[in-house]
Chains A and B, each alone.
Chain A
């Protein structure tokens, strides 16, 4: 009896372990179902749009779909799961994640989808997506994901309260500083800044440098210590230092916990906020009555490059249903679906022939007419260790006035050189 118990115990344990192993390594059970695990929440406008889209696709194509909305935090281990062959067929991705997924060979190349017809429209995927939008969704192997939304950065203000800005936005850095000085003189706080979020603080240096110098000018700082010696880097740092010294941000902005500053901006307490195109929809519940959101591009001179980033769906290269996933992507780009990105999610749609919501028309126009474009953070955030451990903490010192522009350049150069020397 005793032996029997022991054998049974060990047996049960062994079975348990085998069962675990089997569950983890056998993708066979999902062969017939197109799986998508969303980084959107089910209650977000995008979540609702995407749910309806998948339902329609399932109905019309006869493909079974398994859609789960896990939110941003639920997909944190997505790349590890996909690398081990366990991830969903379709996943959410964006321009700033291109490099990460490409480095791990996780995304299926989608150039063949470009030639696919968008159902019922007589146009191909390539026809409906502008060049800069396709470029923001591509890596060196071609199209890496199919975008539904365009994101960009701009200076946001209330046109109802500041018709002067709406009529004649600042055309040069000097104009911009002159406006800040006027606002300050009139007793207003010119800029609201959620200073505890370092990747929002860095919008200033990044925008000034890359809008003037064009694509690659920030990225170079991450890959080559000598790039820090270029005069335009010092010039951009001096402009940020000028903002810090001028006292244009709200008092103690470095201690303001997100989203207090953008909420106060929405309430009309600060004139300007430099932020992404999602700002208006993110602050919608807080907007004061009668606010008319508008934007202008931060004037930095030079190439006047405009940021173009995209959000969309990538196909897991190791997924079980690559063909069905690609079919879904052409289906999803139908005008009636992409329109909802504008009307429900209040974002700029990826198709140029679908108008953006009113407050984003200026950005959509800037993107369409830009002579030069660059991608989100100029791809400099691709090396997250450099970005999070070296660059952002250093920029925080600059924008908070702890160091001057010359020290920023010197420290940046040294820190980057050290980092590159010790990198894997």
Chain B
């Protein structure tokens, strides 16, 4: 726009002067963009392309020889039960975990809005997010072991103790742990959006007799939808990288491999690159590429599903 004005500058002005008079925004474009562009290319784009290259090879890391494998690393993934299980687990975590996290978040948005001391409750809900998974791992033993606190409490209620951390239940426990540790973050995000909705809108709704659900459905949700769309993408990205919570619930503190039933792709990748084995960077990179592609698709889908006309308050 500014440039348009300049083009119509007096014809007497020599071209050199016209260049000097370009608006500040345009002059600043390259000097401001360049450092970021260089850093981004060097630190992200180039390593990503290199990672893709590695995924087409067998490689144990710097200093060892790279052998061309073509698409063999990808084909090997297809026939690998451990990868298939971890892949399915990752998506179950993303979808089931996401459903629960946002279910609780929406519930909190309905309930927390008019409760006394809601700032305090919000802080308490946020707390699990900042507890290190190492501490959680230590606590899990006390709580969920066959003779732990949970089973003891079940005993008081006359219920049978459960093998929580056994191969059949541990994955469900991990989903539960994930929901417990992540919900507070999304509640904090969404509630900040809820807080910016003017109180008079709810007052009007109450006057016309809207129930709490109707208030949520017709006021809260539409006016916080933008934040929800961002939260959903954040969740998808984070849930595909789930790693340390699996170790916390299973083999944390030992060099062991978690049971197949509990592994995620990130855990599977980790076991290929670390832990005193010959690093199999090619296979691990192939897993990374597959997950990156699927993440991209999922994000696109999430964006599409959450796309709505923006509702703005006048």
- Contact among B31, B163, B164 with A2 in the assembled complex (CB-CB below 8 Å): B31
CA distance A82 to B279 in the complex (A): 12
CB distance from A7 to the nearest CB of B (A): 10
Is A252 positioned at the interface, with any CB of B under 8 Å from its CB? yes
Is B58 positioned at the interface, with any CB of A under 8 Å from its CB? yes
Judge whether A385 and B61 touch: CB under 8 Å. no
Is A257 positioned at the interface, with any CB of B under 8 Å from its CB? yes
Interface residue total, chain A, C-beta cutoff 8 A: 50
CB distance from A393 to the nearest CB of B (A): 5
**A88-132 CB contact bits vs B (8 Å, 1 = yes)?**
000000001100100110000000000000000000000000000
**A241-265 CB contact bits vs B (8 Å, 1 = yes)?**
0000000001111111110100000
- B35: chain A residues at CB < 8 Å are 9-10, 13
CB distance from A338 to the nearest CB of B (A): 25
With A198-B257, A198-B259, A385-B280 as known contacts, state yes or no: A252 contacts B250, CB within 8 Å: no
**B244-261 CB contact bits vs A (8 Å, 1 = yes)?**
000000110111110110
CB-CB nearest in chain A for B137 = A257
Is B146 positioned at the interface, with any CB of A under 8 Å from its CB? yes
Judge whether A100 and B79 touch: CB under 8 Å. no
Is A422 positioned at the interface, with any CB of B under 8 Å from its CB? yes
- A residues 384-417 near B (Cβ < 8 Å) are 384-385, 388-390, 392-393, 396, 400, 415
CB distance from A204 to the nearest CB of B (A): 16
CA distance A72 to B253 in the complex (A): 10
CA distance A13 to B170 in the complex (A): 48
With A13-B39, A198-B257 as known contacts, state yes or no: A424 contacts B69, CB within 8 Å: yes
Is B278 positioned at the interface, with any CB of A under 8 Å from its CB? yes
**A199-228 CB contact bits vs B (8 Å, 1 = yes)?**
100000000000000000000000000000
Judge whether B141 and A257 touch: CB under 8 Å. yes
Is A18 positioned at the interface, with any CB of B under 8 Å from its CB? no
Judge whether A396 and B38 touch: CB under 8 Å. no
CA distance A252 to B164 in the complex (A): 9
- Contact among A77, A251, A422 with B146 in the assembled complex (CB-CB below 8 Å): A251
CA distance A307 to B265 in the complex (A): 35
- A388: chain B residues at CB < 8 Å are 82, 257, 271
Judge whether B271 and A384 touch: CB under 8 Å. yes
CB-CB nearest in chain A for B279 = A80
Is B157 positioned at the interface, with any CB of A under 8 Å from its CB? no
CB distance from B306 to the nearest CB of A (A): 37
Judge whether B146 and A256 touch: CB under 8 Å. yes
- B residues 147-176 near A (Cβ < 8 Å) are 147, 161, 163-167, 169-170
- If over half of A's interface residues share one DSSP class (helix, strand or loop), that class is named, otherwise mixed; here it is helix
With A100-B276, A104-B64 as known contacts, state yes or no: A197 contacts B34, CB within 8 Å: no
Judge whether B167 and A424 touch: CB under 8 Å. no
Judge whether B146 and A83 touch: CB under 8 Å. no
- B30: chain A residues at CB < 8 Å are 6
With A76-B275, A198-B259, A393-B259 as known contacts, state yes or no: A260 contacts B145, CB within 8 Å: yes
With A199-B256, A254-B167, A424-B58 as known contacts, state yes or no: A418 contacts B161, CB within 8 Å: no
Interface centre among B27, B63, B260 (most CB of A within 10 A): B63
- A418: chain B residues at CB < 8 Å are 79
- B167: chain A residues at CB < 8 Å are 254, 396, 400
CA distance A318 to B146 in the complex (A): 49
Is A238 positioned at the interface, with any CB of B under 8 Å from its CB? no
CA distance A410 to B298 in the complex (A): 39
CB distance from A317 to the nearest CB of B (A): 11
Judge whether B76 and A255 touch: CB under 8 Å. no
Interface centre among B39, B75, B80 (most CB of A within 10 A): B80
CA distance A37 to B147 in the complex (A): 40
- B residues 251-293 near A (Cβ < 8 Å) are 251, 253-257, 259-260, 271-272, 274-280, 282-283
CB distance from B269 to the nearest CB of A (A): 12
Is B2 positioned at the interface, with any CB of A under 8 Å from its CB? no
Is B60 positioned at the interface, with any CB of A under 8 Å from its CB? yes
With A5-B31, A76-B274 as known contacts, state yes or no: A254 contacts B254, CB within 8 Å: no
CB-CB nearest in chain B for A3 = B31
Is A61 positioned at the interface, with any CB of B under 8 Å from its CB? no
Judge whether B38 and A72 touch: CB under 8 Å. no
B: contact size bracket: 35 or more
CA distance A252 to B162 in the complex (A): 8
Is A79 positioned at the interface, with any CB of B under 8 Å from its CB? yes
Judge whether A6 and B31 touch: CB under 8 Å. yes
- A80: chain B residues at CB < 8 Å are 60-63, 279
Is B203 positioned at the interface, with any CB of A under 8 Å from its CB? no
CA distance A190 to B237 in the complex (A): 47
CA distance A226 to B38 in the complex (A): 56
Is A343 positioned at the interface, with any CB of B under 8 Å from its CB? no
- B253: chain A residues at CB < 8 Å are 258
- A385: chain B residues at CB < 8 Å are 272, 277, 280
Is B42 positioned at the interface, with any CB of A under 8 Å from its CB? yes
Is B140 positioned at the interface, with any CB of A under 8 Å from its CB? yes
Is B214 positioned at the interface, with any CB of A under 8 Å from its CB? no
**A283-323 CB contact bits vs B (8 Å, 1 = yes)?**
00000000000000000000000000000000000100000
- B residues 11-28 near A (Cβ < 8 Å) are 27
- Contact among A83, A251, A252, A415 with B60 in the assembled complex (CB-CB below 8 Å): A83
CA distance A157 to B255 in the complex (A): 25
Is A172 positioned at the interface, with any CB of B under 8 Å from its CB? no
Judge whether B163 and A254 touch: CB under 8 Å. yes
Judge whether A10 and B251 touch: CB under 8 Å. no
CA distance A260 to B147 in the complex (A): 9
CA distance A252 to B146 in the complex (A): 6
Judge whether A256 and B38 touch: CB under 8 Å. no
- A100: chain B residues at CB < 8 Å are 276-278
- B79: chain A residues at CB < 8 Å are 418, 422
CB-CB nearest in chain B for A392 = B257
Is B56 positioned at the interface, with any CB of A under 8 Å from its CB? no
Is B240 positioned at the interface, with any CB of A under 8 Å from its CB? no
Is B144 positioned at the interface, with any CB of A under 8 Å from its CB? yes
Is A195 positioned at the interface, with any CB of B under 8 Å from its CB? yes
With A389-B80, A422-B76 as known contacts, state yes or no: A256 contacts B64, CB within 8 Å: no
14 additional A-B pairs beyond A80-B279, A104-B63, beta carbons within 8 Å, are: A5-B31, A84-B62, A104-B64, A104-B278, A196-B251, A197-B254, A199-B255, A250-B146, A252-B146, A255-B169, A260-B145, A389-B81, A389-B82, A393-B259
Closest 4 CB pairs of A and B: A83-B63, A84-B62, A255-B163, A255-B166
Q: 13 A–B contact pairs at CB < 8 A? A: A80-B61, A83-B63, A84-B62, A104-B278, A199-B256, A255-B164, A255-B170, A256-B165, A258-B141, A384-B275, A392-B257, A424-B69, A424-B282
